[in-house]
Amino acid sequence: MSAKTETPAARAARLRERIEDANYRYHVLDDPDIPDAEYDAMMRELEALEAEHPELATPESPTQRVGGTPSSAFLPVRHEIPMLSLANAFTDPAPRPGEDPNKQTRDFVRKIEQRLDVRDPMFSVEPKFDGLAISLRYEDGMFVRGATRGDGETGEDVTANLRTIKAIPLKLRGKGWPRVLEVRGEVYMPRAGFEAYNEKARASEGKIKPLVNPRNAAAGSLRQLDPRVTAQRPLSFYAYALGAFEGAPMPARHSEVLAKLREWGFPVSPLVSTARGAEGCLAYFAKIGAMRDKLPFDIDGVVYKVDDLAAQRELGFVGRTPRWAIAHKFPAQEQTTLVEDIIVNIGRTGAATPAAKLKPVFVGGVTVTNATLHNADQVARLDVRVGDTVIVRRAGDVIPEVVRVVLELRPKGTKPWEMPKHCPICGSDIVREEGEAVARCTGELACAAQRTQSVFHFAGRRAMDIDGLGERYIEDLGEFGYLRTVADLYKLTLEDLLEMKRRVDERDGTVPETVKAGKIATKWAENLIEAIDKSRRTTLERFLYALGIQHVGESTAKALATWFGDLHLIRHLPWPLLKLVPDIGDEVARAIDAFFEQPGNQKVIDDLLAHGVEIRDTHPPSAKLRTALALENVLARAGIPKLTTRRAKQLAAAFDSFEAVATADMAALVEAGLPRETAECLHGFLHGQEGKTLAKRVVRALKALHEATAHARATAAGPLDGQTVVLTGTLSSLTRDEAKGKLETLGAKVSGSVSKKTSFIVAGEAAGSKLDKAQELGIEIWDEAKLTKFLQQHGG
DNA sequence: GGCCCTCGAGTTCG
DNA sequence: CTCGAGGGCC
């Protein structure tokens, strides 16, 4: 049948099929069956056909890979099933005599054998591509969304860019695929494509910027806002795992999954294989290692996965890393360079961290100029000196690290490096505590570096999230006296910022950037003021984290926030009571206590609150905590020496407040049933300096607790208090359970059926009889948009 | 007292 | 990403 006798629709369909087949043969089977010229001719014909008959153009047509318009941002995508990160194993390059260089790999296999009680389990083995992990979602066989890995939980929507990659099928081939399929794999740039692209870039004489290395090139290409740019990049794709999988039976083995993926049109590396036990894995590692340089793409190791999926489930996870898989990495690439200097950086906690300033060297795909030396022990271990030639590599292919010194090249007259005795920034003593690895500057707030770093932490994305407040501004603000504590941020005015900028320009002798085309450019300052203002409304968890208390990171801050629920309670609580929170022990509790013990810190908190910082999620302490704070428990745990649980109980029965116990005289204590000796001891303690301080704090804390509880009760009246809500139909942005939970926290009762008592209903897509009934009864009807907006307005 | 896990803190480059 | 160290469990 010739083109002439076909209808345009049939011709278009036939062309598409042939183009898709050619793609499949080229990218998946690696066995092209038609010459490039013919392929191009078919594409041109199809494009012409679709231009002539626009109704024939479908989104999954091969001509429609580059579509859509440049976007301004990538929307976050939550992965239904988190994307994993693998543990690493290395082969020890210089094992001690008698030591197994492949201990890590063998340990990995041995643990699996122990847990599963099998010998030499079967592994699916594959090369580990050096690219960018992504997830592709197919619904009813059509590619609907693609996202980057992100932090594993949430990535970025890069669908438009992924569509331009010909190795990624826009629709699934074959049959038997599930209704919902998520495929995980690696986008990478083949070496040849990388070279060719850079050749073109060189020829363009600066018009096209050359790419640094294939891996960054892949990552950078997917982050292009304009898919037409991505389409110009020679990207490819290999699939290696599943995410969501709904509506079809799941194969029993990982190797079968890969075979299925290949049938459905995904490129799967021809190097994937299976191997038995540790020895099989190591043989595969050796084989791939020998091929590494000749491969048409970069790899950084191989991956071993337990092949049996049921066994994978049995093995489970530690955190987000599976017990059933490991990445066996090739040794990192190494380079030698010169140590030009060894400097000390001062961190937020005063930690003095030595860092090597290196002669720029290209290693592992980037130019490295700095390498951390961690601490004085590390410097001593390596014996790095200024002027040394050292071997550097990128640990885990990211953070540069000094591997060792090339002693043969050491110049004469070098001296071992020593931690300076005084802080290079503020001149305070640098002290190293007994048994600690870090040395610290003791300058605290007097040290500009610590000040800058703590403000930087405070403003961080995960803390108060002040957008646009970078290290440079913080330094400058500090230098000119606008910023002593974080509270000063909330006192800054537009004029302050502009004045600071003027002085910075004066100091640097730079042309004032603030003056452009005769007008004073103030946009950056306006933005910053706005960002600061926006940060005022925050959560307890963020606020606590932002304070930068030692040992209090994100998760401890969260625990404190959920357990105590109220800043005023936390800031007055004596440390033994802080230990009520799981995962908070002596050390952390003491650190928190010490922080709040400083009047300066309490003043900063007062200042922050006075300048409009508002914690919007204060809530009553958890029920568990309220029990724990009952009088007898407080007495037992407040840190009063010799007071046993039993005695605490007796006291609690006889007195009705902590204050009463603290002010009781000996007679009263004896009357309460305490043996004379215990009573004397307690009385002595409570009237000693230590006891008085403790009592004062406990009383204050309990008062705060009481107020917090009362306050929370008073404000518990949510905006939907007393209202009955009915949900019907399907909501797209959240599940019914989530909607229910959110409505309930705002005070609503969520019921299942519509009656005249119903306050309003929320009708999603395809709402049925409940909607009819609500209309009949004249009940208010919300659509999803209205619900979302309402939830947003009320902190949903 | 030792082991295993998790968390905190510091870090690099584009 | 890595190291060091705190916390919990045996």
pLDDT of residue A605: 94
CA A714-A719-A724 angle, 5° bins: 115
How large a percentage of chain A has pLDDT more than 70? 84
Do residues A201 and A234 lie in contact, with contact meaning Cβ atoms separated by under 8 Å? no
In whole angstroms, give the CA distance from residue A149 to residue A128. 16
Nucleotides of B under 7 A from a protein CB: 5-14
pLDDT at residue A512 above 60? no
A499 touches strand C (CB under 7 A): no
CA A50-A46-A140 angle, 5° bins: 80
φ/ψ (deg, to 5) at A316: 70, -155
Could you report the per-residue pLDDT of A643-667, keeping only the tens digit for each? 776 777 777 777 766 777 777 778 8
In whole angstroms, give the CA distance from residue A604 to residue A614. 14
A703 touches strand C (CB under 7 A): no
Whether the pTM exceeds 0.75: the reply is: no
Which A residues between 301 and 360 have a beta carbon under 7 A from any strand C atom? none
pLDDT of residue A740: 63
A752 touches strand C (CB under 7 A): no
A512 compared with A670, residue with greater pLDDT:
A670
Could you report the per-residue pLDDT of A249-265, keeping only the tens digit for each? 999 999 999 999 999 99
A395 touches strand C (CB under 7 A): yes
A775 compared with A238, residue with greater pLDDT:
A238
Say how far A428 CA is from B10 C1', in Å: 21
Do residues A636 and A648 lie in contact, with contact meaning Cβ atoms separated by under 8 Å? yes
A594 touches strand C (CB under 7 A): no
CA dihedral A434, A437, A442, A447 (to 10 degrees): 180
Tokens for A75, please give them: 């929307």
In whole angstroms, give the CA distance from residue A639 to residue A43. 80
Which range of A234-243, A371-380, A519-528, A623-632 scores highest in mean pLDDT? It is A234-243
Say how far A438 CA is from B1 C1', in Å: 25
Which A residues between 174 and 203 have a beta carbon under 7 A from any strand C atom? none
Do residues A355 and A370 lie in contact, with contact meaning Cβ atoms separated by under 8 Å? yes
pLDDT of residue A624: 63
pLDDT confidence band for A300 (50 / 70 / 90) = confident
Rounded average pLDDT over A316-323: 78
pLDDT of residue A487: 94
Say how far A243 CA is from B14 C1', in Å: 30
A765 touches strand C (CB under 7 A): no
> Among A228-242, A295-309, A388-402, which is the least confidently predicted range?
A388-402
pLDDT confidence band for A330 (50 / 70 / 90) = confident
Rounded average pLDDT over A537-544: 92
Among all strands, which nt has the closest C1' to A85 (CA)? C1
Rounded average pLDDT over A760-766: 75
In whole angstroms, give the CA distance from residue A691 to residue A643. 13
A102 compared with A394, residue with greater pLDDT:
A102
Give chain A's end-to-end CA distance (angstroms, integer): 62
> Among A339-348, A410-419, A454-463, A517-526, which is the least confidently predicted range?
A517-526
Among all strands, which nt has the closest C1' to A582 (CA)? C7
Say how far A230 CA is from B14 C1', in Å: 18
Q: Which residue is nearest to nucleotide B6 (CA to C1')?
A: A319
Could you report the per-residue pLDDT of A121-175, keeping only the tens digit for each? 999 999 999 888 999 999 999 999 999 888 787 888 899 899 999 999 999 999 9
pLDDT of residue A250: 93
pLDDT of residue A715: 43
Q: Which residue is nearest to nucleotide B4 (CA to C1')?
A: A318
**Mean pLDDT of all residues belonging to chain A:** 83
pLDDT confidence band for A796 (50 / 70 / 90) = very low
Say how far A584 CA is from C8 C1', in Å: 10
Tokens for A427, please give them: 């001149």
Say how far A591 CA is from B3 C1', in Å: 25
Q: A469-485: b or e for each residue (b if 16 or more CB lie within 10 Å)?
A: beeebbbbbbebebbeb
pLDDT of residue A280: 95
Tell me the C-alpha to C-alpha distance, in Å, between residue A657 and each of A464, A545, A691.
38, 33, 16
Rounded average pLDDT over A95-108: 81
A704 compared with A775, residue with greater pLDDT:
A775
Catalytic residue among A111, A128, A491, A603: A128
pLDDT confidence band for A516 (50 / 70 / 90) = low
pLDDT of residue A719: 64
pLDDT at residue A542 above 60? yes
Rounded average pLDDT over A567-581: 85
Do residues A726 and A774 lie in contact, with contact meaning Cβ atoms separated by under 8 Å? yes
A553 touches strand B (CB under 7 A): yes
pLDDT at residue A202 above 50? yes
pLDDT at residue A272 above 90? yes
Q: Does A770 participate in catalysis according to the annotation?
A: no
Give Cα A355 to chain centroid, integer Å: 26
pLDDT of residue A182: 95
Say how far A539 CA is from C6 C1', in Å: 26
pLDDT confidence band for A217 (50 / 70 / 90) = confident
A435 touches strand C (CB under 7 A): yes
A551 touches strand C (CB under 7 A): yes
pLDDT of residue A612: 92
Say how far A351 CA is from C4 C1', in Å: 13
pLDDT confidence band for A609 (50 / 70 / 90) = very high
> Among A22-36, A450-464, A742-756, which is the least confidently predicted range?
A742-756
A585 touches strand C (CB under 7 A): yes
pLDDT of residue A704: 64
Rounded average pLDDT over A571-580: 84
DSSP assignments along A418-456, one per residue? ---SB-TTT-PBEEE-TT-S-EEETTGGG-HHHHHHHHH
> Among A295-309, A523-537, A567-581, A632-646, which is the least confidently predicted range?
A632-646
pLDDT of residue A171: 92
Q: Which residue is nearest to nucleotide B12 (CA to C1')?
A: A399
Tokens for A189, please give them: 């740039």
pLDDT at residue A214 above 80? yes
How large a percentage of chain A has pLDDT more than 90? 25
A398 touches strand B (CB under 7 A): yes
pLDDT at residue A111 above 60? yes
Say how far A351 CA is from B9 C1', in Å: 9
In whole angstroms, give the CA distance from residue A609 to residue A612. 5
DSSP assignments along A579-628, one per residue? TTSTT--HHHHHHHHHHHHSHHHHHHHHHHHHTT-EETT--PPPHHHHHH
pLDDT confidence band for A386 (50 / 70 / 90) = very high
Tell me the C-alpha to C-alpha distance, in Å, between residue A296 and each of A167, A293, A331.
15, 8, 19
A347 touches strand B (CB under 7 A): yes
A368 touches strand B (CB under 7 A): yes
In whole angstroms, give the CA distance from residue A661 to residue A683. 9
pLDDT at residue A602 above 90? yes
pLDDT at residue A560 above 70? yes
Rounded average pLDDT over A175-189: 94
